[in-house]
Amino acid sequence: MNSSLQIGICGLGTVGYGSYTVLVENAKEIARRAGCDLVVSHIGTRRIKAHQEVGEVRVSQDVFAVADDPDIDIVLELIGGEELAKELVLKAISNGKHVVTANKALIAVHGNEIFAAAKKNNVVVAYEAAVAGGIPIIKAIREGLAANQLQWLAGIINGTGNFILTEMQEKGSEFSAVLKQAQELGYAEADPSFDVEGIDAAHKLTILASIAFGIPLQFDKAYTEGIGDITIEDIHYSEELGYRIKHLGIARQSEQGIELRVHPTLVSKDKLIASVNGVMNAVMVQGNAVGSTMYYGPGAGALPTASAVIADVIDVARVFNCPESSVPALGFQTDSLSDKPVLPITEIESGYYLRISAQDKAGVLADITEILGDFGINIEAVIQKEPHHHDTDQVLSVIILTHEIKEAVMNEAIVKIEELDAVGGKVSRIRMDKL
């Protein structure tokens, strides 16, 4: 048994310094769990900030010096980004070092190559912190639910988007105003596209789907749709109908294939996940043995994310002392991964919320419902709002909830509705999911 293992930290930003802090402050408890002392002996960072205290630890400006340090046993990749991080991780692996990362883009896009290299070099790449921050969702799915055939999972896995939708719902503010507020509070970047367009969530969903269903990582096949077109009217009408709008990542497997999609979703208010607000994250998982489970907590932040990083470090330390205890990277044996296809969004079936602006003329609603009927689309509920003046016409909003129908069929029906003379502009469409 090793008396101590040497840790190298690459990147001393929010998560990097948080991880260093947790390792130092909780050193005794961590050693009891790991079976040995975990000592930070090398840090790679461009500069040490004024508030950061790292004692006598060796510091290099070149992160590759950490990956090449012969004394380092475990490398923590916490620099972010894709290409440099990929190069760093592959270098560490080729040097026979175990790797812990919090980098969801790295795993979602390059994970297949990285895990293959790790297996070839007989090392572990751990990535719990890459999804949902401090929530141990990777371990829950990969290990805790390993006895189940998992049927679907759905999650609020981007705190920025959830904060924006919560503020819109609770305060009646428009999207642009809340986005500016999120940037001022530090929840959103100057370029918020990764968060509000669903790319960040799609990275995380790609990872979750792989460990849930035993498929290779396939980020390029994930469907993403952002929240920028959601209006206050949509939020109010949804609430009136008993639903809330959440920006969900949904993965579901069927005989036809795998659904892998991120988009605004109407969720019934009686579902627990509908009440997850602010910057918090939550993931629901449905298994054939356990039924439905939900995991809730902070999806970001220095110490919550560091909690997940160091949990992985402890797992790697246990592998040092008991090599046969290693868990496969994606939870399934490499030669058992499924080739089940990821379905295009046009093939998925969903209920729909439609908001249609139409002139206040006799027969308009009948024309709309006739088109839906012609396409075999059943209606669950209809709201027709009082008309309001729009230039010279009286314009009313028609809100329709439909039963489940294939998206390709709904697309055709929407085209026909938009061709009606009395309908103005595009039909607003939000998918529904009964979870």
Handedness of CA 76, 82, 84, 89 (dihedral sign): positive
> What are the backbone dihedrals phi and psi of residue 153, each rounded to the nearest 5 degrees, phi first?
-145, 150
175 CB-side CA count, 13 A: 15
Which residues are CB-neighbours of 101 under 8 A, at least 6 positions away?
A: 76, 77, 78, 85, 89, 107, 125, 126, 127, 129, 130
Under 8 Å CB-to-CB from 86, ≥6 apart: which residues?
Answer: 106, 110, 113, 114
Cβ atoms 424, 395 nearer than 8 A: yes
- The letter for the amino acid at 113 is E
Q: Does the CA dihedral 417-423-424-428 come out positive or negative? A: negative
Residue 260: which residues within 8 A CB-CB, separation 6 or more? 205, 206, 209, 218, 221, 222, 223, 251, 342, 343
From the candidates 97, 204, 246, 271, give the one annotated as an active-site residue: 204
Taking the mean position of all CA atoms in its chain, how far away is CA 226? 13
- Cα gap 366→254, rounded to integer Å: 36
204 is catalytic: yes
Could you give the angle at the alpha carbon of 66 between the alpha carbons of 64 and 70, nearest 5°? 115
Do 203 and 104 contact (CB within 8 A), yes or no? yes
Residue whose entry in the numeric block shows the structure tokens 């290990």: 143
- Which is it for the CA torsion 371, 375, 377, 378, positive or negative? positive
Active site residues: 204
